Structure 1
Amino acid sequence: MRNPGGEASNINKTFADRGKAMSLFGVTRMPGPNRSIELDFIRGLAIIAVMGFHFHSYPTGSAFIAAIEYPLKNFGHEGVNLFFTLSGFLVGGLLLRQYAQEGRIDAGRFIVRRIFKIWPAYYALILFHVIVGRHPTDTFLVQNLTHMQNYFGSSVAQTWSLAVEEHFYLFLPLLLILFSRWQTRVNTILTVLGAICVAVLIGRSVAVYNGDLEGTFFYTQYRIDSLLFGVMLAAIYWLKPGVYRGIAQRKGLLIAAVAGLVLWLVFGTRNASVDQSIGYTVQAIGYCALIVLTVEYSGRIRGSILYRVIGWIGVYSYGIYLWHSLALAPGDMLIRKAAAWHLPAIPAWGAIMLAQFAIAIVVGYVTTRAIEFPFLRIRDALFPAKRKAEVPEAAGRQA
């Protein structure tokens, strides 16, 4: 079967080139199997933003501490948006690689591998909450078991975004199966994905105009474009490598796009109606630029301690995301103790924030090692990844 888009020879040559240590993509490996430090660095940034947003802070009255806290306390939702776009890029890359190589999509195999990746740690969290009774079961159990918590609510609040991703894992393979049956050209794939994103933007803007800010924040039909922008980046990378190379070489444009993203995060997100309409689109475009800029141009700082620490945190980001709320109760206890003992405000603030980050990271590390990684080894033994193009699977293993 021919490759879609009539570009078989160019695509096959690109696969061969990329098999040589990802020369175009500039990705290096973290210690351990199948890791990419650049992508883990992006994950690390996202999970740090999420943790900082949720963790409880000790009041200091210090303008300096307020400046340090600003990105931590204001960009948690945006960290989730970054996760969405990165997930679309990685997961879309896994499917598009197969589509480009074979002209078809093995949706069943993809979904089974996703189940081994996502469900064990996720259902361990749900089982934990059932056993310890931190929340009444009628506030989360059915919703979470059916992956509909973003529509019906859940007291295990952080899981709403996982429902969006689960719906995406079903939607994207079905869409690509249609593309493969029609032997769709690459430009048509990008046009269709772009049209869906425009439709989502219009629908979300109408919902915001009608006052449905809760729906535009939680519902899949209003959030899936953040993932699809990542898929479009993956389509350009895998199926139009010349276009990707042209984008990657425009370093100044990428920096300008990321700078625009930062300005939007600082100023645009202050208005919820604007941010939850056009803002999600602005962020998705900016995050695509951030992904390309990081993987292509972060070589000079890749060896720094801070970069590698953030990358290491990114390795365990899924486990941390699932379990980080367990750090809130100890944080509240420390806040009460610090107030009762009249401790100096700034050192108390630092110790309390550090304790919450440490608890969340340690719990995420332990649960990842105890649950997620063993199931990934079982998955790879039962349903091994196809190795024609090794690196995308390596980069996407922790997607």
Structure 2
Amino acid sequence: MKLLHGVRLSATGRSVELDFVRGIAIFVVMGYHFHTVRTGHAWVSIIEYPLKHFGHEGVNLFFTLSGFLVGGLLLRHYAQTGQIGARRFIVRRIFKIWPAYYALILFHLISGRHPRDTFLWQNLTHMQNYFGTSIAQTWSLAVEEHFYLFLPALLMVLAHFRLRANALIAVMAVLCAAVFGARCFAVANGDLDGAFNYTQYRMDSLLVGVMLAAIYWMKPEVWRSLVAKKRWLFGVVALLLAWLVFATPHVALDESVGYTIQAVGYCALIMLVLEHSGRLRTTWLYRGLAWLGVYSYGIYLWHSLALAPGDYLIHKASALGVPPLAAWPVVIVAQFAIASALGYLTTRAVEFPFLRVRDALFPDLRGVVSPVSPARRETPPVEGKIEGVA
């Protein structure tokens, strides 16, 4: 473990803090999808509440974090060179996302777990969030894929006019307001499914992350000022938690203003984790969630395969007369273990090898270019691979 300008990096150059955030997101997503035993005990329901109700919010966290990371990939290069490296960015994204994704599709195609017309053309064209898919968890990946094309195109247009940080952030804010308005209109007209699934209604969560990346890489003095307000950041995160607990059950409210509130709260969480993790980094819980974060993409793709073993254990325990309270932790832990193992194995077998090929053929050039103007030479508050091997 090494420390580089405030962020702890592993031997592979990953940010432990951002892996911790990823770990939180994938943990609640898994908990939302996994099947549980009905015990009849109120205290068990209280324990399960974050897992069974915050899964969608875990996806929102992934969106905001992705906006921060992919925005950082492009904006750091822009801050250094005055150009948007769109082609290299897209190629590197392809190496990152597609091999593991198409391996999943190939598995489902060969195994015959779902009829082909329920997923194949939808997933191959990355339109599953509009037309549906039986590989249900992949809907959010379509949103991100669309954003990976939209963001560099937008930034190339803005870079043509030599817009600086304030102008870039202002444009992002206007776009966020437009997306927010469109989503509220959809919700008001009863299109809750569209407001949840469609890219044009979900893009503001990613754009808020991009705005945070613009502050991080292009306005370091503002970043320092924001992260210095530790109590305010904790206050925003506390309000976020209150919203998650009390407001998210109101679906129309959450899908309209709620997604925006969550994005802002998640930005505060990212700032807190990056700058104020302190001794928490050494705790087993922090390290465990960070480990999940390393393999979060693989886990996200494959965790649905843990549902069938979970159902088997539930039925087996019932047939054997095992008390529900005794079966409950076994079923939960088994599904988490199976999903984590699948994510670990597929990441090691598919994702990491392709990342090595990517880095050999299309290396990240951001570290070898020089800033083009004195105004851009100011060292960011946190240097290094904060993108976490993106």
Which TM class, normalised by the smaller chain length? over 0.9
The SS at the match of 2:7 is coil
TM-score by length of 2: 0.95
CA distance in 2, matches of 1:109, 1:304: 38
Deviation per CA, 1:331-384: give whole Å up to 9, x if none.
000000111111122221000000000000000000000000000000000001
Match for 2:43 among 49, 58, 64?
64
Note the 1:92-131 alignment, pairs <5 A. Answer: 92-131=71-110
Alignment-derived partner of residue 181 in structure 1? 160
SS in 1 for 2:205: helix
Distance 2:284 2:187 in 1: 43
Q: Distance in 2 between matches of 1:307 and 1:389?
A: 33
Distance 2:325 2:26 in 1: 24
Q: Deviations over 1:137-189 (max 9, x none)?
A: 00000010010000010000000000000000001101111111110121111
1:3 corresponding residue in structure 2: none
- 1:367 aligned to which of 334, 342, 346: 346
Unaligned runs of 5+ in 1: 1-19
Structure 2: gaps (5+ residues): 370-381
Q: Is the 8 A contact 1:93 1:392 kept in 2?
A: no
Q: Which moved more, 1:243-252 or 1:32-41?
A: 32-41
- Of 289, 297, 300, 1:310 maps to 289
> What's the CA shift for 1:387?
4.5
Is the Cα–Cα contact under 8 Å of residues 280 and 286 in structure 2 kept in the other structure? yes
TM-score normalized with structure 1 length: 0.92
- Please, which of 264, 272, 293 is the counterpart of residue 251 of structure 2? 272
Evaluate the alpha carbon distance shift between residue 182 and residue 387 of structure 1 in structure 2; reply closer, same or farther with a 3 A threshold. Answer: closer
Cα deviation digits, residues 95-148 of structure 1 (max 9, x gap):
000000000012111000000000000000000000000000000000100100
Kindly indicate whether residue 19 of structure 2 is the aligned counterpart of residue 28 of structure 1. Answer: no
2:374 maps to what in 1?
none
RMSD between aligned residues: 1.4
Correspondence 1:222-241 to 2 at 5 A: 222-241=201-220
TM superposition shift of 1:395: 2.5
The answer on whether the counterparts of 1:315 and 1:398 sit within 8 Å (CA) in structure 2 is: no
Q: Tell me what 1:4 maps to.
A: none
- Confirm whether residue 396 of structure 1 aligns to residue 376 of structure 2: no
Q: CA deviation at 1:393?
A: 6.9
Distance 1:120 1:233 in 2: 29
Q: Which of the residues 342, 362, 370 maps onto 2:321?
A: 342
One-letter amino acid matched to 1:165: E
Are 1:158 and 2:137 an aligned pair? yes
Matched residues in 2 for 1:22 and 1:209: separation?
A: 48
Structure 1 residues 382 and 22 mapped into 2: Cα distance closer, same or farther (>3 Å)? same
**Residue 287, structure 1, aligned to residue 278, structure 2:** no
Report the Cα offset of residue 22 of structure 1: 4.2
Find the aligned partners of 1:298 and 1:284 in 2 and give their Cα distance: 20
Aligned length: 377
Residues 6-64 of structure 1: per-residue CA shift (max 9 Å, x gap): xxxxxxxxxxxxxx9542xx21023x412111000000000000000000001111122
Alpha-carbon contact 2:4-2:384 (below 8 Å) kept: no
